[in-house]
Amino acid sequence: MSKKYFQFGLFAMGLAVVSMAILSNASGPGGDRTGAPGSSGNCSGCHGGTANLGGDLVLTAVDVASTKTVTSYEAGKKYTIGIKMGGTSLRKGFQATVLDAANKAIGTVSNVGTGATSYTSGTRTIVGHNTPGLGVWYFDWTAPATAAGDITIHASGVVSNSNNNNSGDQVIKNSLTLTAPVSSVMNSSNVAINLYPNPSNDKVNISEALKNVKVISVDGKVAMTVDSATQTLDIKGLLNGQYFIVAENTQGQVVHLTFVKN
């Protein structure tokens, strides 16, 4: 074999290895990079840099039966978990897992949406991207038959700067805790927050005052903000579709709600 062809062969092999690495990152790194306790860290294990690409990561849980956004769960019920990432890039990725208070896997994952997949890492079920996406993913989580204390959805994401390597990206992590069911006595003093009318085409009323309100579209973009306390949102200027609200109640607790503009 001539030196020329030998060098070409080495180049081709090197190119194949680089291409495989890029494709591997694009389809998710595998393992547990959710940022949860006991994980292998978060996406910064592969993606470096401190770039600010406008990224954020919002987690929501919606009761499949009632279609209401929740902050607590009931034994045996199914919830749709939403992962929504903002940022200027069109290439985003994530990993998420659901753990109990002892950081052990809990419940059952199903119906993983387009652009994502689920797999087992150790004893945990991991949901992650299998192709870079715009930043919106969903999966269903079914609570165990018996309530087992508070559960937390841990997620880590990356907003890529699309330079075809792992430098200069923005890594974000977040978590959402769903509280365990409480007694009816305790629940009577903690009335759920309601939105009405829902769907609506002009305004949405809120059953109690909320502040620092962010209205987020399904593609992870902030469509509206209201800093002062309010019980009414003017949504006439929004495009039709589903939206998520992240806000604070009068006790300073973060609440997650959802509505539809029609």
Give the pLDDT confidence of 210-259 residue by residue, as tens digits.
Answer: 998 988 887 667 889 999 999 999 999 999 988 888 888 887 777 778 88
pTM over 0.85: no
Do the domains at 28-186 and 191-261 have one common CATH topology?
Answer: yes
> How far is the C-alpha of 141 from the C-alpha of 106, rounded, in Å?
9
pLDDT on residue 182: 43
With a cut of 50, list the residues of the chain below it in pLDDT: 3-24, 182-191
Q: Domain spanning 191-261 has what CATH number? A: 2.60.40.1930
Domain boundaries, the chain: 28-186, 191-261
pLDDT on residue 140: 96
pLDDT on residue 78: 93
pLDDT on residue 170: 85
pLDDT on residue 220: 62
Q: How many CB atoms lie within 10 A of CB 8?
A: 11
Q: Tell me the torsion sign for CA atoms 79, 219, 247, 59.
A: positive
pLDDT on residue 184: 28
Q: Domain spanning 28-186 has what CATH number? A: 2.60.40.4060
Residue 159 CB burial class (10 angstroms; 0-12, 13-18, ≥19): buried
pLDDT on residue 102: 86
**Cα-based torsion angle of the residue sequence 122, 79, 253, 240 in order, rounded to the nearest 10 degrees:** 120
Per-residue pLDDT of 183-201, as tens digits, reads: 322 333 344 788 999 999 9
